[in-house]
Structure 1
Amino acid sequence: MAGDSDGEFLQAGRDHVAREGAEGEAPLQVARLTEDEILGEPERWHDLLERSDADRLFMGWAWQSSWWRTWNVPLGLEPCLVGVYCGHALVGLAPLYRYRRRGPFGRTTTELHVIGNAPRIAPTVRTEYSDFVIDSAQQDGVREALARALKALHWDVLIVCDHVESGHLDQVEKASHAMRSVRQEDWGVVLDTTGSFQAWLKELGRNTRLKAYNRRTYLEKQGNVALRHAESSEEALGRLNAFHITRWGKPAFSGLSLEFHRLFLQCLPGDAEPRCSELWFNRRLCSVLYDVRVSARVYNLQAGFDESFDPKLSLGTLHLGYAIEGAFHEPAVTAYDLLAGGGKKTYYKGRFRGHPVPFRQLHLVRSSLLKAAYRFYDCLPEKARRPILRWSGTT
């Protein structure tokens, strides 16, 4: 395990070990980790993930390590990986990085981020369900150990994007005397696929059921409809990009984001698989879905379709209907995750009668100066906030 340059970090870990031992509980050891120690050990990460409540896709080794390998050098990020061990077993992980933002007047703000997002640093892929990875059987002790360790590190603000409340950050907030601030909010939707597909269809509104299912009959009367799994994920991403260029004026993935997805798909663990689905009509490609199954959940990462195909059809919704039906009919799959974000014109996901998931960009503000800036910012009308954002260096 690597040493640490933040002064009292390791001492905080030793103090915690002594306290746990005095109470008769299993001793916990906190350590700063090198990239190779944790990002180079997928089995150890995956084993901890299986014992935690963390998201299997976004907080998994494949996604996290691929993101880090893609963006850490171009963005000049400093790894700040904190692990908690019980003996030789990894029982807690805070996969963080540190970024020093230089603002006006030579002022520098030190930010901690969970690997997977880089808000106001650079555009990257979106990593949802960002959080720490903690063994559920040792949750309280690991939370306290991580909180004490992070208290001993140097940072002004901890930023966690697309976070779903888990309680893991409460101890950090308390130990570091930080101010909690929610800067952005979004909603995702998860469909429970353990029941009957027909029962789910009946719950849909008339118009949504028409677009997602009933229009199949209309399409099938016009010609030959085929739903295929793409033989090559690389080719499927290229076809998806082509649809996006036509519809949005730019590809869904390009440059580093395309490199990320190529790397990520190569790193998927044994309990995961890409599901690039293509909808064909009379040998013409009409729609592409980029899904990934990890354990018992299928994630809908991206979609692209021919918007001009037929004004009576919503090809994207129709294709989703096929994918959702497939998830309902697959016993090993318990959920289909539509994730956060809306459509081009409407928030169509909310009509699918799924479980709403609140995502928040959470800031734990430690610096006294930044606390004052945040409070002042929140009191201002919307038009006056932009100069404060530029001054504080945070969102």
Structure 2
Amino acid sequence: MSAPLTPGAVQALRALTPGTQSTVHFNHAGASLPSAATLQAIHAHLKREAAQGPMEAGVAARDLTEAARVLAAQLLNAQVDEIALTGGNSSGWGAAFAALPAWRPGDRILVGRHEWGGNLAALRLNAERAGATLETIPSDASGCVDAQALESMLDGRVRLIVLTWLPANGGLINPAAEIGRVARRHGIPYFIDGAQAVGQFPIDVAQIGCDVLSGAGRKALRGPRGTGLLYVRRDFLEQLTPAFVDTHSAPLGPDGRPMLRKDAARLESAENSLALRCGLANALREALDLGLDTIRATIDANAQALRAELAAISGITVLDQGRERSGLVSFNLAGQDAGDVQRTLAAQGITIGSNGVPYTPLDMQARGLDRIARASVSYLTSSAEIDRLLEALRKLAG
């Protein structure tokens, strides 16, 4: 692993990030703080639209807006034609899922215990409508999805394996590549929700072995809200027929019939914010310039330091599981509701998250948790911020 950023380098990045001057931010897993340059990229395109007209500005700035696709491919070690630019993680994941062939009675969908609640809603609605079943893959002693248990569940009726790589309710990192090897051996489509993973550490979709991976712009990438990226493996694309098409994804041919695009953009819409794409492109470029190995090392150092200090506070229970952990640190304070803890800290200018059962229902229910507090760090997080959060929590626990 690379060395973490030095305190001086962190301070330099913070100086280029306006939000660090006004908030102590520990909700980077909800949405991180964009840089001034990302904000400038968005504003510059809005000014082009005002001066030239939105349609004309889109044509003039096509290279700028399409840079996000090229940079996303670089980030994931994918081909440019395997990337769709979306309005967010859920819209991308949902578009790919809705494009799968029709479900049939008896079909089986296998999901990890940590699956995002929004994905579960889509999975269950479709399974119930078709008479298919949704089944949970067991977890191992560390809490991770168990690849060996998955293999023992497989038969000819399994049509999809679904994994949320980094759960929203804590620091666990699921073994995505191990699951991918099982999926590839048996030729079963494999979807990954990478909302929390994209931008937090290096990702190689070829090494992981997934067919689809979705990501969000607003989280670790520090891009604008309302942006996302979707990887679709080139050889898998022909299995996907979008539930919705328009003149961008399936223009009409000379015979009046729709011609589905031959790239992942068949899952895009003609209507999108090009200003936000300019911001996403800048955020992607910043992450790549900084280096994902360096980002991972810095986030890991911050998260480990925070977990160790939290565990030493009487009354606080750190709830993170897994063999390897992310920058999401989950905990509860004895006798206090996580939502109340969040609100008390917010009144002091410190932002954290708090998640209830609907976010990750299978895992929360399996572990007997009603709600968790979540402090998620970034490479922007300073030691002074960690100290301030810990001091506030010690007083609450006191």
Same topology, TM > 0.5: no
Which structure's CA Rg is the greater one?
A: 1
Smaller-chain TM-score bracket: under 0.3
Instruction: Compute the TM-score of the two structures, normalised by the length of structure 2.
Output: 0.26
Q: Which structure has the higher relative contact order (CA within 8 Å, separation 6+)?
A: 2
Q: Which has the higher strand share?
A: 1
The TM-score normalised by the length of structure 1 is 0.26
